[in-house]
Amino acid sequence: MAAMSSSVAPSGVQSAPGFGFRLSPAWLHLTLHAIALWPQAGWMWTRLRDGSDDPLGVVAILALTLIVARHGTTLRRSPRPTWMLLATTLLLLAAFATRHLPPLFAALLGVLSLVAALAAWLPSGIARLPLAGLAVLGLPLISSLQFYAGYPLRIVTAELSARVLGAAGVAAERSGASMMVQGQLVIVDAPCSGVQLAWMAYFLACTLAALRDLPDRAFLLRLPLVGALVIVGNIVRNLVLVLLETRPGGLDDASHEAIGLTVLGVVCLLVLRWMRSGAFVEQRAAHAKEPDAAYRSRWMYGAAPALIAAALMAQAARQSTASAFAPRAESLGEWPALWDGMPLRPLALSAVERRFAQRFPGRIGRFDNGGRTVVLREIMAPTRMLHPAVDCYRGLGYEVGAPVLERDSRRRLWRCFVAERAGQRQRVCEQVVDDAGQTFTDASAWYWNALLGRSRGPWLAVTRAEAL
């Protein structure tokens, strides 16, 4: 009798001994829902293994799993129908997106559907938005954020840093996404965009809010200051690095990393303090008992058509974006026979390169150029598939050094780095040149200028690699 009575709890909540993973309608449904997301899970696992993205998402998934496990013994006996309808709709949209939309968008719909399913079984008083935040942060999105948002964020960082230095009497001005400080060109690289700093700050905010059940409204009200702390911290970091790098002796890599970690630590401490300050958790008033019987709300049945229409509109927008801003360019014709005065001897593409070329909006050629390898990519329209060379080399298992901007003997600007694997070192340089001769050393900068019509195609992306 004692065992039977322990499984009954008030307010439509079920209780079970142990950690809460006893087979129950809630856990059975959540398990089946998770299994239905196997295409998205497979894509996320591939991104994790190929090294093309920072593995920070694993930390967010682990935190989300542990937080959900805390509520394993308090799940409801029956789900809320509104949340269940939302979860089912998002799951169907994720299945649709798997075939017709980018994998990241399909994975986003998938994890949100799982959070909605979880919300259907959670008891009242449990924060849901922080859980959704952790689910989104669990996606492999750092490299995508760097590609799409990195360039605008670096422009903001460089502009504000130049203004601060100018107010302090230091000759500084922004040059694209870089800075000219006292006549010296300083690169504002990908870490200076603040994407990783923002990820860490929001991860801490979501985790702390979820652990302490911060009400969703209070959580939303606290997020803007988290973003402000990230921006200020990123600008301070950039200012310190710029001032030290423009010294005659420059700045070594160890000091560069130490300054970045110090700023990261300070911002994280301020985020933790802000999320804990004041009346952080206002204990919710006792909620009225919710009936176990499924209730009906007519408005919720309009959610499915609206969401399906939104997905179709997103697909149409994706297909028309390139033509709306930058019409598809005409081909350059034959590959050049010479590069830097040396003949280009065609080389066969690898199996990976051939598969990639099938989906690439243009063409790819690989050549030997006097003992160094030159890869030419002709691009006909703005595309996310122009991956930075540093991402490709990391995906191949190389250790990659910090990139620098260099001009060659012909005054052409290149973005260069050193890649090392199994004791072999290569110097890799890359640039993108448009039809008017304008040069870009950053894929994100090229994408936005091409998309907004500030640069016309066809574009030629050049990557050269030579052994050291």
Indicate the helix (H) or strand (E) that contains 352.
helix 351-359
Same-domain check for residues 145 and 272: yes
Identify the pLDDT of residue 318: 43
Last residue of a domain, one of 291, 319, 347: 319
Domain hosting 276: range is: 2-150+188-319
How many structural domains are present in the chain?
Answer: 2
Indicate the helix (H) or strand (E) that contains 460.
strand 459-467
Highest mean pLDDT pick, 249-258, 381-390, 416-425: 416-425
Same-domain check for residues 133 and 43: yes
Residue 103 predicted with pLDDT over 80 = yes
Last residue of a domain, one of 319, 353, 372: 319
Identify the pLDDT of residue 65: 86
Same-domain check for residues 35 and 124: yes
Last residue of a domain, one of 319, 349, 377: 319
Highest mean pLDDT pick, 40-49, 204-213, 393-402: 204-213
Q: Is residue 457 included in any domain, yes or no? A: yes
Q: Cα–Cα distance between 181 and 239 in angstroms, integer?
A: 11
Same-domain check for residues 60 and 102: yes
Q: Are strands 399-400 and 172-175 parallel, antiparallel or unpaired?
A: unpaired
Residue 339: pLDDT band (50, 70, 90) is confident
Q: Is residue 182 included in any domain, yes or no? A: no
Same-domain check for residues 24 and 140: yes
Q: Over the chain, what is the mean pLDDT?
A: 76
Identify the pLDDT of residue 321: 40
Same-domain check for residues 67 and 204: yes
Q: Is residue 91 included in any domain, yes or no? A: yes
Residue 129 predicted with pLDDT over 70 = yes
Same-domain check for residues 365 and 262: no
Same-domain check for residues 296 and 367: no
Q: Is residue 74 included in any domain, yes or no? A: yes
Same-domain check for residues 106 and 215: yes
**Contact between 367 and 462 (Cβ < 8 Å):** no
Q: Is residue 157 included in any domain, yes or no? A: no
Residue 230 predicted with pLDDT over 80 = yes
Identify the pLDDT of residue 53: 63
Identify the pLDDT of residue 165: 83
Q: How many CA atoms lie within 13 A of 433 on its CB side?
A: 12
Cα 101 vs. chain centroid, distance in angstroms?
17
* pLDDT (mean) for 44-70: 78
Residue 284: pLDDT band (50, 70, 90) is very low
